[in-house]
Structure 1
Amino acid sequence: MFVTILELVLDSAEGAFLEVGVFVGFVLLLFGYINFKKSGDFISSIERSKKWQPVLGALLGLTPGCGGAIFVMPLFFKGAVSFGTVIATLVATMGDSAFVLIASHPLQYLIISFLSFIAAIITGYAVDKTNLGIEILEKYKSRRKSKEDLDQDHANADHSLLQYECNRMGGCNDNLIKHIGHSEGDEIDLLLHHKLKGHQSHDTLGYRFTHNGFYLYWLIMLIALPLGIGLLLQVDINELFIPNLGLVIGTLGTAFSILMMIMSKKFLGDDTHEETELKAMSLKETFIHNAQDTAFVVTWVFVGFLAYEILVLAIGGGDYATGEGMIETVLLATGILSIIIGSAIGLIPGCGPQIIFVTLFTRGLVPFAALFANAVSQDGDALLPLIAIDRRSALWATVITTIPAVIFGLIIYWLEINLPIVSMLQTTFTSLK
């Protein structure tokens, strides 16, 4: 049994890094570069376009990862965007689980993105038809500190970490980070940069490891990329000129990813408002933090793969084939319950549990309708700054995004059951994969 479990661990490690991780890493770099170049401009466009804010928020939410969605959250408390825009952004975002889906099922990712975009716009404008946003904002302002108190708190706050980052990047205006979505010294600055976890102190082992080890991490990624492409082309990469090359590189990559995640102290969520601002200021910071983001995704995919393999083995009483057959039987019986489960998991802040859910979909354990419900319900890391600023608005956002998740999830489930063309297309997509 020990040998069997060890084989499952190694196979899961290889699959997590080569089937998903390498593609996630380079897609992250692509969108990280776009974020570095355009994030500030896009936020300015949302602030100016009052009529189209929910649409623009939904577009920003569709950006893989949580960076774009994170920037929108503080804008509501400045009065720059409506609460419907916040909701539209959160409905559209899939967080880091989007990268997993892009790497494994790109066509399904496009379908979910399109449907989520429609659901996000409808929900966002519907929320703006109510007075909910106005009421939330008024109650937030009534609790807000006076400018004198904020100035005093800001003067007493420790700015050494931010100044260190500025000096490392070659200097910043006024020796402080350029903020997106808020201003230096306001209440949001104090909450997101001084009270909420930002980045590690530069004198810690974790900081030194992640800010130097990223070079090696991207080198391993670069070596692994041809192997990942080989897997896509159905090449047996373990029978090439070096025996078990895929197993060695995949296991090494996953092990390094786990170490990187531990050193960065990111377990449920991997992106903070502060780190997202740093990535928008420096291309080197984009490489550093995208390495951490990739390691986070790879680790959770590995956990998902391994959990699935062990579950199959356990259900089958040690017989893998029997376990798979029993799981397929359970899947056929879950039906509507899977929609509720997907939506409920989406209620959990952070990206880790959502990556697990998408990973189970890649293993055939989750139906498409449930995956869509989870994609709409989940808010990823974008919910964390909202919780830090105003828990009441975060609670409302969590509840509201769950409603379209269940409604649209049930509609898609009904279409899957009652329209043969939908099932046929899904079968075709799966065979193409």
Structure 2
Amino acid sequence: MLHILIDTFRDSILITGIVIIMMMMIESFNLEKHSGFFEKTGGSSLKQVLLAAILGSIPGCIGGFAAVSLYSKRLIGFGALTAMMIASCGDEAFVMLAMMPDRALLIFAILFLLAVFCGTGVDFYIKQRGLRKGAVMEGRDSSLVLRMTGKEADRMTGEEDRRRSLTLYRVVLTAATVFFAVALACGWLDHSHAAPEKGRMHIDLLSEWWMNMIFAILCIAMAVILCFRPDRFIKETLWHHILSRHLPVIFAWTFGVLLLIGILSEYIDISRWVSSNPAIMILLAVAIGIIPESGPHLIFVSLYAGGLVPFPVLLASCISQDGHSALPLLAEDKKSFAYTKLFKCVIALAAGYGTLLLL
């Protein structure tokens, strides 16, 4: 039980830290560029969907966290969020590349095309129904956020708002960002990428040290940005909004979900669910894919790599699951999390049974 708590706490810090760093960088970039880049994507649903699908196609949770951060700021729409979650395979993308690179690339291509098609379809449906962008969830649309951000940027053009001094907020944020960068570079927060060993298949995923280094570099870049941002931006936007409002909620939900999954994994042997019936396996793959966690999906990756289940089972599992990417979304917007998961399950079932009939 103690090792579950320790692993869960470490993983929660890692996920929360990455999300917070990305949110701070988005805020800083948005302020610096006066939202120019996101205004360009905000005017085109297809551009948003393509961007989100590309982010989701990146192995691991990097792209997923970035897309969720953009969505939480209402800079991309619900269709783009759906595209990211369909395209994402989470950490399991690495083991697929290692065990079956040819099939993995085929699956990634299928997921990308499916993500773009479904994402644009969702936005088209929302537009045809006369719903504003993002109406399925609580919050503001991207254009409103962009207008508010622009107004905030205008307010910060005054001499007082451009003041930079060595405040406690700046020191704490910069020190914490640098410490997080060191922790990533040194591997102090490395999380497990293996399926639970108790009565289950055990697979060691590829090391993600290079991903840690990328995030460490981003953290250092954020620390440099913190040295030059105005006091008001540091205090009001980063400290009071992102840290005080978002960080506790994201960490609490991430820790709670991971802890629950860890405890259940100690007593439930998921491998016993495996059946030789592909139709049942597709249902199980979609059901297990609902879990916002990297690990359970490895069962179907290993079964397919061993020739024990057909391709439709793995395809359905890849569509329904998204690794850790959905955890911040669960914390920030539960309604959007539920809608995207429901939609993904429908697509996964249709794709799984459809390919099963064709093969």
TM-score (norm 1): 0.48
Match of 1:369 among 306, 309, 312: 312
CA–CA distance in structure 2, aligned partners of residues 266 and 98 of structure 1: 25
Is contact 1:267-1:352 (8 Å) kept? no
Q: Could you say if the C-alpha distance between residues 307 and 194 of structure 1 is closer, same or farther in structure 2, counting changes exceeding 3 Å?
A: closer
Residues 63-74 of structure 1 mapped to structure 2, 5 A cutoff: 63-74=58-69
- TM alignment of 1:213-252, pairs within 5 A: none
- Quickly say closer, same or farther: Cα 1:343–1:75, change in 2 above 3 A: same
Instruction: Kindly provide the CA deviation profile for residues 221-279 of structure 1, in whole angstroms up to 9, marking residues without a partner as x.
Output: xxxxxxxxxxxxxxxxxxxxxxxxxxxxxxxxxxxxxxxxxxxx99959xxxxxxxxxx
Within a 5 Å distance, the mapping from 1:292-303 to structure 2 comes to none
Distance 1:157 1:120 in 2: 41
> 2:226 corresponds to which residue?
174
- Greater Rg, structure 1 or structure 2? 1
Match of 1:94 in 2: 89
The residue type paired with residue 48 of structure 1 is K
Secondary structure of 2:297's match? helix
- After TM superposition, give the deviation of residue 388 of structure 1 in Å: 1.2
* AA of the residue aligned to 2:226: D
Name the amino acid aligned to 2:57.
L
How do residues 403-422 of structure 1 correspond to structure 2 at under 5 angstroms? Answer: 403-416=346-359
1:140 is matched with which residue? 139
Residue 91 of structure 1: how far off its partner (Å): 0.2
Q: Is the 8 A contact 1:84 1:124 kept in 2?
A: yes
Secondary structure of 2:308's match? Answer: coil
The 2-side partners of 1:413 and 1:267 are apart by 33
Counterpart position of 2:175: 163
Matched residue, 2:301: 358
Residue identity in the other structure for 2:40: R
**Letter of the 2:90 counterpart:** G
1:48 is the counterpart of 2:40: yes
CA distance in 2, matches of 1:398, 1:156: 41
**Contact persistence 2:60–2:90 (CA under 8 A):** yes
Alpha-carbon distance, 1:157 to partner: 9.4
Q: Work out whether residues 170 and 226 of structure 2, in 8 Å CA contact, stay in contact via their aligned partners in 1.
A: no
**Alignment match, 1:84:** 79
- After TM superposition, the structure 1 = structure 2 runs for residues 227-306 of structure 1, keeping only pairs within 5 Å, are 268=258
Contact 1:339/1:406 (CA < 8 Å) preserved in 2? yes
Unaligned runs of 5+ residues in structure 2 are 1-21, 30-34, 142-148, 150-166, 183-219, 260-264
Give the counterpart letter for 2:54 in structure 1: L
Residue identity opposite 1:193 in structure 2: L
Distance 1:126 1:156, change over 3 A: farther
Code of the aligned partner of 2:300: F
Q: Quote the offset at 1:44 in angstroms.
A: 8.4
Does the 8 A contact of 1:166 with 1:176 survive in 2? no
Query: Which residue of structure 2 aligns with residue 27 of structure 1?
Result: none
Indicate conservation of the 8 Å contact 2:249/2:332, yes or no: no
Q: Deviations over 1:17-71 (max 9, x none)?
A: xxxxxxxxxxxxxxxxxxx9xx989x98666332421122112111111111111
Q: Which runs of 5+ in 1 are unaligned?
A: 1-35, 148-154, 199-264, 270-299, 301-305, 316-326, 417-433
Are the aligned partners of 1:119 and 1:404 in contact in 2 as well (CA < 8 Å)? no
**What CA distance in whole angstroms lies between the structure 1 residues aligned with 2:48 and 2:95?**
28
Q: Does 1:395 align with 2:338?
A: yes
Q: Give, in whole Å, the separation in 2 of the partners of 1:65 and 1:44.
A: 28
Alpha carbons 2:278, 2:309 under 8 Å: kept: no
- Looking at structure 2, the residues matched to 267 and 390 of structure 1 have their Cα atoms a distance apart, in angstroms, of 15
Deviation at 1:396, TM superposition (A): 0.9
Q: 2-side partners of 1:176 and 1:344: how far apart?
A: 48
Asked if 1:123 is matched to 2:118, the reply is yes
Change (3 A) 1:186 1:409: farther
Checking the alignment, whether the CA contact within 8 Å between 1:268 and 1:353 is kept in structure 2 is no
Paired residues of 1:60 and 1:89 also in contact (CA < 8 A): yes
Letter in 1 for 2:346: I
Task: Name the counterpart of 1:196.
Answer: 250
Cα deviation for residue 380 of structure 1 reads: 1.5
**CA 1:415–1:188 in structure 2 vs 1: closer, same or farther (change >3 Å)?**
farther
1:166-189 Cα offsets, whole Å, 9 max, x none, are 266595333599x9xxx6247455
Specify the SS of the correspondent of 1:75. helix
Give the CA deviation at 1:72: 0.9
- Relative to 1, partners in 2 of residues 1:86 and 1:267: Cα closer, same or farther, differing over 3 Å? closer
Q: Distance in 2 between matches of 1:157 and 1:403?
A: 46
Range with bigger deviation, 339-348 or 95-104: 339-348
Residue of structure 2 in register with 1:112 after alignment: 107
Paired residues, what number? 246
Q: Which whole-Å CA distance do the structure 1 matches of 2:248 and 2:171 have between them?
A: 8
Contact 1:73 1:86 in 2 (8 A): yes
SS of the residue 1:172 aligns to: helix
Question: Alignment partner for residue 52 of structure 2, among 32, 57, 66?
Answer: 57
Backbone CA RMSD of aligned residues: 4.4
